[in-house]
Every structure is written in structure tokens, then in C-alpha cells.
Amino acid sequence: MKKIAVCGAGGFIAGHLVKELLKKGHPVRAVDIKPLNEWYQVFDGAESLVLDLRIRENCYQAVNRYNQVFNLAADMGGMGFIENNKAACMISVLINTHLLLASHDCGIDRYFYASSACVYNGEKQNDPDNPGLKEYEAYPALAEDGYGWEKLFSERMCRHFSEDFGLVTRVARFHNVYGPFGTYDGGREKAPAAMCRKVIEASITGNNEITIWGDGHQTRSFMYIDDCIKGIIDIMYSNIEEPINLGSSEMVSINQLVDIVEDIAGYKLERKYDPDAPKGVRGRNSDNTLIKQYLDWEPSIPLRKGMKKTYDWIKEQMLHQLKSKKETSRFNK
């Protein structure tokens, strides 16, 4: 079994990845900047380290005496976060740069980098009926300001470390991943979790309104976490040398996403639209021609099925928090 370092392990996707790698029998070192009590998932079977990977020396500590690295560490969130924190997103370039240097110096034999669909040229995403973004359409470059440019630059770093030093690197461009054990409030949440939270809050409070950013006609595709984890592992151990899409091709509008959540909840809401809120590109979808060609596979879990699992988990968390608040309030009286 390879000894594997997972960076960003306190986060949503990497936490699920640690779980899967442990299940496969790999020794895992899990690394994140957050205190352990803020990690979404912590596993007794993993060596868990709290390190700021923007600092070069910490990257050496993270990968030393290990064989492989999955880098999913970044300062990021949903559109509301990345549009208002461009500098913070750009600083994540230090994480990938220092991890690549440490991986080269410490003899890492395989390196995975989690990129994003935000690298794609914005002019290719002005139509809600987006036919799907093909990998070559990241150039000529016009990435999402801040976060997208950092991801695109880091992709090139991986490429050149591979070409110049022989480090085997694999890059996947994630398209909107969702599921349990992720952020659903606080400003960093993405659309699927945000919609679940808003509908659950409305059903609890009896409010019949929901605020939607933009006009609701903007489109995206959303990939369930189980599909994402399988894709990460398959790409890591493939012969795919170029960056490749990892996302669902089941595109929906934000209005349709709300329809799905309302149907799951059995609760209809009056929609209010905020045209001034962060809303990102007009239309984005994943073209999966290449991943089907290489791996004869693409994400398969339907959006409604994944959203039901996500909704149920978020509702359980919110009801537990509400119960705890009520008990605390009674205790303090």
C-alpha cells in the first residue's frame, strides 16, 4: 500500500477522500489549516496534522516519508466568497507551489491537483444553454478573476514540474461538487447546500419566501460527492497527462435546482430575486467526452437522488442545532 498525504483533509471533498483511501487500506496523513475540531470529518486511522501549507517548511513536513500527494487544499467557497475574496483565493498559489517543491525534493512519485471549472474562458459561458466546456476551451485564457486564475496558473505549475523534473502529476477540473459533510451556511456554501438550507429554514420558521441570487436562469451542473471521489482516484491512477473535466453533464438552472429541493421538502416558496448578488457566469456545464474516452466512465448519480441525501443530512444538522439551542436556553433560565 502506498503512503498517501491528503492536503485540505479538513474540508468537504478531501474528508470523503481520506475515508475512501483508508477503506482501501492505505496509510493516510491528513493535513489541514483548520483546528481539528473544525474539520468536517476526522478519522482515527489517519495521522492528522494541523499545518498552514502556504508556508514552505510545513509542506515538507506534510509529504516527507510519504509516497503520493492529493492536493485539495485552497482558500475557497461558493460564488459569494470567491467574488469578494480574490486576493485570498490567489494566495492559495503558495500551497500548490510549495507542495510541488516539497514533493519533488522528497521523492513523491505521484501528485494530484484539484483544479476547477473556474479556469474556463468566461466568454464561453455567456449562454445559459451551455453545450458543455471542452478541456481546450480554457485557452485563450480568461479565467474567473482571482480563484480561476490561481487554479489555471497552478495547473501549469503541475505540467512543468512533470516536464522538467519527471514528477507524475494529474489534474482534474471540478464542476460544483455537493453532498453530506460540507458547508451549508456561513458564506462559503455552494448553491445546492444553500438552497437546501434556505428551504429547511423556511419550513421550520413558516416563512414562505426564498431569495435567489440573479434571475434564477443561470445554469450549472452539480456532481455528487461519491462520483467525485471515484473520479479523483480513477484520474490519479490513470495515464491522463492533461487537465480533465470531472463533473456531471446534467445541467440545470438555479430555478430548476430550487424546484428539486422544494419537491424533496414538500414545501413551496415564493421566490424573490436579487439581481445585484454574486452570480458568476451565465451558463456552465461539463463536457465529458474526454473522460469517457479515457476511462469509459462519467459521473452517474442523478441530481435529484444526490440532493435528497444532501437535504436529509443538512436537515438533520439544522434540527440538531435548533434542539441544542432550545436546551441551552432552558438551562440558562
- How far is it, in rounded angstroms, from Cα 115 to Cα 242? 12
CA nearest to 310, candidates 269, 264, 267? 264
Which positions are catalytic? 147
Residue 333, C-alpha cell as written in the block:
433560565
Instruction: Give the pairing type, strands 219-221 and 270-274.
Output: unpaired
Helices and strands in the chain, H and E counts = 11, 13
Q: What is the DSSP letter of 186?
A: S
Residue 114, C-alpha cell as written in the block:
484539484
The alpha helices in the chain, defined as continuous H runs, are: 12-23, 56-63, 79-82, 86-91, 93-105, 147-165, 191-205, 225-236, 254-265, 289-295, 303-332
CA nearest to 174, candidates 218, 228, 242, 126? 228
Torsion region of 228: left, alpha or beta (phi above 0 gives left; psi -120 to 50 gives alpha): alpha
The answer to whether 167 touches 100, Cβ cutoff 8 Å, is: yes
Residue 220, C-alpha cell as written in the block:
450549472
Residue 55, C-alpha cell as written in the block:
508556508
- How far is it, in rounded angstroms, from Cα 170 to Cα 333? 57
Strand runs labelled E in the chain: 4-7, 28-32, 47-50, 68-71, 110-116, 169-174, 177-178, 209-213, 219-221, 223-224, 244-246, 251-253, 270-274
100 phi and psi angles, rounded to 5 deg: -65, -45
- How far is it, in rounded angstroms, from Cα 203 to Cα 99? 45
Half-sphere exposure of 236 (CA within 13 A, CB side): 22
Residue with cell 492529493: 70
